[in-house]
Amino acid sequence: MGRLRLQSNIKAIEEEPEDCETTSSNKAALAGMVNSEIGAVLAVMRRNVRWGGRYVSGDDQLEHSLIQSLKTLRKQIFLWQHHWQTINPVLYLQPFLDVIRSDETGAPITGVALSSVYNILTLDVLDLSTVNIEAAMHLVVDAVTSCRFEITDPASEEVVLMKILQVLLACMKGETSVVLSNQHVCTIVNTCFRVVHQAGSKGELLQRVARHTMHELVRCIFSHLPDVDNTERSLVKGGTSIKHEVSGIGMDYRFSSKSENGSEYDDHPSSGAFASGASTGQLTGVMGDSASKTDNGNDGVPYDLHLMTEPYGVPCMVEIFHFLCSLLNVVEHMEIGPKANSIAFDEDVPLFALGLINSAIELGGPAIQHHPRLLSLVQDELFRNLMQFGLSMSPLILSMVCSIVLNLYQHLRIELKLQLEAFFSCVILRLSQSRYGASYQQQEVAMEALVDFCRQKTFMVEMYANLDCDITCSNVFEELANLLSKSAFPVNIPLSAMHILALDGLIAVIQGMAERIGNGSFNSEPAPLNLEEYAPFWMLKCENYSEPDNWVPFVRRRKYIKRRLMIGADHFNRDPKKGLEFLQGTHLLPEKLDPQSVACFFRYTAGLDKNLVGDFLGNHDDFCVQVLHEFAKTFDFQDMNLDTALRLFLETFRLPGESQKIQRVLEAFSERYYEQSQQILANKDAALLLSYSLIMLNTDQHNVQVKKKMTEEDFIRNNRHINGGNDLPREFLSELYHSICKNEIRTTPEQGAGFAEMTPSRWIDLMHKSKKSAPYIVSDCRAYLDHDMFAIMSGPTIAAISVVFDHAEHEEVYQTCIDGFLAVAKISACHHLEDVLDDLVLSLCKFTTLLNPSSVEEPVLAFGDDSKARMATVTVFAIANRYGDFIRTGWRNILDCILRLHKLGLLPARVASDAADDSEMYPEPGQGKPLTNSLSSVQVQAIGTPRRSSGLMGRFSQLLSLDTEEPRYQPTEQQLAAHQRTLQTIQKCHIDSIFTESKFLQAESLLQLARALIWAAGRPQKGNSSPEDEDTAVFCLELLIAITLNNRDRIGLLWQGVYEHIANIVQSTVMPCALVEKAVFGLLRICQRLLPYKENLADELLRSLQLVLKLDARVADAYCEQITQEVSRLVKANATLIRSQLGWRTIASLLSITARHPEASEAGFDALLFIMSDGAHLSPANYVLCMDAARQFAESRVGQADKSVRSVDLMAGSVACLARWDEDAKRAMAEAEAIKLSQEIGEMWLRLAQALRKVCLDQREEVRNHALLSLQMCLTGVEGIHLPQGSWLQCFDMIIFTMLDDLTEIAQGHSQKDYRNMEGTLVLALKLLTKVFLQLLPELSQLTTFCKLWLGVLSRIEKYMKVKVRGKKCEKLQELVPELLKNTLLVMKTKGVLVQRSALGGDSLWELTWLHVNNIVPSLQSELFPDNDPEQPVSNQDEIGKNITSNETGSALKD
């Protein structure tokens, strides 16, 4: 067996170089000390007459041998010349030990001798290098443990007993203790325990000293366990089985001490028990009771004898530990449980034993697992007793049990998986809840223990991984988390210590998760699990339980299977057939059901209806019978008693009531039991008959309707000859009979998971399972499973913390809750549990009191006095700033708080300032730079210049302003302090950071924030809204615009919502107000800031400006000038970026509207001038739009006519752009593209001419005349522009002729007052006609429709000749027309266009010309063509008229 490692190579002290004088003085000093002790003993002995002289022989007085030996020693000590380490200690110890052993000495003498031995032991004389130290130490222990003395008085006896304890403890604490044998150590402990037991009838001091000594001994012994040799060297030599080791030490070396009388303490090796005089009965402390012989029969005993004489190690520790465990067995037959009315046993003994066991475990620690015998004791006997004492009514015992289990968890949890599950299920979860009958004290102790466990960083993780994720175990983590949450809830009662305690445990778990986040190695969102194909779920294995890469996916998969099995159980309980089909659909059962898979589903799935399972298993269907036999095979009945096996079997389902079903069930059970336990039963039929007999006995004994109960003899007689024709052993049957009588077999087991009591049969089953259970998974400090765990416990946790926070009244409880809230937020964010974070934000916002309807007069002061509300507010905004990425619907609650602070005037001046605020080029009235977050700044804003002058803030403003002589309201010191606290709280919140830092938010969170702002603003209603609502809407819009500008790189994400919100405002507003002003100018500001960065969104942004066009007339009129200025800035800054026709259409529309607005026209024209001057920003995309806008300004009568003239100049000057574009197109483009662009340019030119034509009709003379000249310039300056063939005909028809006709109509139909000096205009118009016609004559004469065109010209000249202005003909025209006509005809003659032709039909132009000319100036033909005859026959004229009609020139003639 293992033993302590001895120090080796220790040299004799005399060999060490040492100063001679020092050595000499040391020898003298030691000799003097021993001499003093001898003197002390002799002095006490002489006081007794017995020791003065014994008898006289002659003249000599002979002394007693004890005195003689002491005197002899006194002579020798000063004669010893050698170093004391070289002197055999037996020489100077023996005389004292003889005194101690002597039964002639009284208590005082024995006490002094014991003191002397103690003093010598504590000198620096005895060490491992001392000669014969082993024999000396053995001698001391033997002498002290067999100490005898005469009792003179009780006080002296107690002194001796205390000194015995003192010496024995010194033996164990000295460095020489390692030479003591296992036997001696056991003897020391046994002796101490006898003293402890005897002290019960003696003084309080002795009791305390004895117990303390026992503790110190146990601590001293077990502190050496880590130093003991490893397990392999601790096993019996040659043994291959732990059973060899368990055989332990022989019967001869058990704890065996018998108190023969009150005065003697002697060891009796042959005795096997310690008979106590106390009322507790027999205390068994024998390890050997459970010992079994080794394979070598009696050969094992000598080896054990040898083992016990070796230096002490594991053997004595096993003996001691077993003895301590056996002290707990005294109460096995006494009632212990939560329902007991009183403590039905003396709690002193178990408390003492538990304390010793706790010390042993604390010091032995992890080393216990290296020694199978010790480990086996812990796993079985100790834990079984702990389970039993865990239900004790004594809080002291329960507390000690919990301490031991905590120590076991810390040191040995990998070996105690199922034991820990049983402890939490059957003890902690039962005692922590009053519904199971536990007292308040029990609940409190159990809850304290649970909280201690929760403070172990990996406890909950390991419970979840090992138990909750194991289909054969209960959901301990889930149950414990629920227990903590429920226990923290104060339901209709004040907050108590229990609630706070549960809260501490809950927050310890949460903070453990939060701390693990920083350690990495976690997947924020585990991949969803799905079973692709069927695999036996009960055979799922992990490749490596110590490697997280292996066990993490394994336990997740196992938990998924467990959850699906639970769902399958629900389906099964409603309809067994559908339940099995569901499991087939989820691949937990095969497509074609097989008996084994169904049996394992029944065996390992919690929550099944046991009645349905019993009916299924008892069914006569072949498949059900096969399932039944497979079900029986899942049990391990190895080495179990029949009644225990039967109990376990029938606990898993309800035994059917029909005899045939019972027959089938018991047949399957018996077959399985006989397979594994063939020691007594001859065959399976014997097992079946005996099982039936036990069921009948059970019914007989525990059915109240059975009056005459079966006796033991009846039972034995009923079972004769059933064992293959032979009788079963009487002892065997008797044991079964008493077991059934004492403990009923429940054939109707409890439904549901419940927290069942730990019965002996269940414990035996647990020990069987523990041998086959999957290895215990040890988690490190990384967040492998925290996502799954937190998803389970987050809801109840938030609710529990919130309720405690709500009921709490102390600052430290507030802080505890806040710490919990922040930990929940951190975990939720890091594991991407957005819903949880939203729930948390919602809960916290309620505590800010900002969402409550204001029922107090001074809400700011109330807020300042409410520390809970202020802490909640700071926490809400801390979460928003730290974990905003993962907030979704929670933004609405946060904004409600912000809006409330805004209404109270508590926000900094510009919360809505944006991060891109580069000195705000265009600050709006009343808005300055955002204030810093210093308190003074906030205070200045909040008190000095409040957002609203009324209410508290206004009064504080009056109070603190210097120019106020007599403030009406004088706040108290308390109010000032409350106000200051409010300001400090708001400063800590850093509310502005939410919006200025919004560019760092994740996309989904940003979108939700924007939606929350839109939601908070409310939907604008037509008509009047309250000022408060409008103020809120304006503030929200400011924030919305701020985050839009801060997130220009993600404008596509926000734009649609922002646009729709602004559109709703614009379209629903009918009167000017701050909201529509903010909406319109915010929209313009967004466009100004974003156009340079988002060219792909340019059209979208510019199209949004069309909203301005939809403004109500009153609203548009109020803001037209400012809008125009903003549009002008937009154009000047971004003209080169606006490339599409769509964008320019919006700009042109906005500018056109301003043409007729007195205040806005200047800014609008300035923008148009910027675009059109020198064609700087004109393009084919915006040309026509700009022409239309310029025409609007030209026709506008707002302001001086000079602006209109300049507008006309802009229009006319644009011809150069058209020519340039045409030239560029020919050079740079492909032929097809160039042709297409040329056609477009021609159309643009026509639109320009059309626009100028309309301006030519203006009432103002200078504008009208200037437009005519500009039109003439445009029509004659087209050399660089390639116009299509039919363009000129269009030009004359649609522009020149129409203009001439319109001017004629105006001149004849309007008064002089409206249109001044129309004569001059008509002159200019006629000149334009002839000039353009003549300039273009070479081209026009080539047209097939030239005749028609020419007749149109002649008809207009004729009309102008006859036109009357104010009722009389115009003199200027009378003079001008002949001259212009003459010039025209001369040019046509010169060019060969107007000549007489003889060909048929070829002279129609000639004849028609003169037909009209003669009506105007008859003399012109003869003057210009003297050679031609002017006379024409009438018949010819008629023919000509027909020709004209046929040539569709009738309209020209009519003109």
| Phi, psi values for residue 208, rounded to 5° | -65, -45
> Out of 18, 332, 547, 658, which one is annotated catalytic?
658
The 3 state secondary structure assigned to 1169-1216 is HHHHHHHCCCCCCCHHHHHHHHHHHHHCCCCCHHHHHHHHHHHHHCHH
Residue 651 backbone phi and psi in degrees, to 5: -75, -20
DSSP type of residue 62:
E
Nearest-angstrom CA–CA distance, 1350 and 1340 = 9
Output DSSP code: residue 172. Answer: H
AA letter at 875: T
Please tell me the distance from the alpha carbon of residue 1042 to that of residue 835, in angstroms, as a whole number.
27
What DSSP character marks residue 1365?
E
Spell out the residues 6+ positions from residue 1101 whose beta carbon is closer than 8 angstroms to its own.
Answer: 1086, 1087, 1090, 1091, 1094
- Burial group, residue 1104, by CB count within 10 angstroms (0-12, 13-18, 19+): buried
| b (16+ CB within 10 A) / e for 636-653 | bbeebbbbbbbbbbbbbb
- Compute the distance between CA of residue 1031 and CA of residue 602 in angstroms, rounded to an integer: 66
Give Cα separations from 242 to 183, 230, 245, 922, 1419 (angstroms): 22, 14, 5, 89, 149
Is the CB of residue 545 less than 8 Å from the CB of residue 469?
A: no
Instruction: Give dist(CA 1335, CA 106) in Å, integer.
Output: 159
List the one residue out of 1011, 1019, 994, 794 whose CA is nearest residue 888.
1011
Cα–Cα distance, 249 to 236 (Å, whole number): 11
- Say how far apart CA 946 and CA 797 lie, in whole Å: 41
Scanning the structure block, which residue is given the tokens 């912000």? 898
The three-point CA angle 1124-1129-1134 to 5° equals: 125
Q: Going by C-beta distance under 8 Å and a sequence separation of 6 or more, which residues neighbour residue 129?
A: 10, 11, 12, 13, 85
Q: Which residues contact 1137 (CB under 8 A, 6 or more apart)?
A: 1091, 1092, 1095, 1098
CA 207/CA 195 separation, integer angstroms: 8
Q: Which amino acid is at 1202?
A: D
Beta strands in 188-335 (DSSP E): none
- Concatenated DSSP letters of 717-746: HHTTTTBTTBPPPHHHHHHHHHHHHHS---
Q: In whole angstroms, what is the distance from residue 219 CA to residue 357 CA?
A: 10
Neighbour-count burial for 165-174, b at 16+ CB within 10 Å, e otherwise: bbbbbbbbeb
Paired residues of 1368 in beta bridges: 1365
DSSP structural state of residue 106: B
Distance of CA 796 to the CA centre of its chain: 14
Query: Cα 408 to the chain's mean position, in Å?
Result: 31
Spatial separation of the C-alpha atoms in residues 603 and 588, rounded to whole Å: 14
- Judge whether 658 counts as a catalytic residue: yes
**What amino acid positions are annotated as catalytic residues?**
658
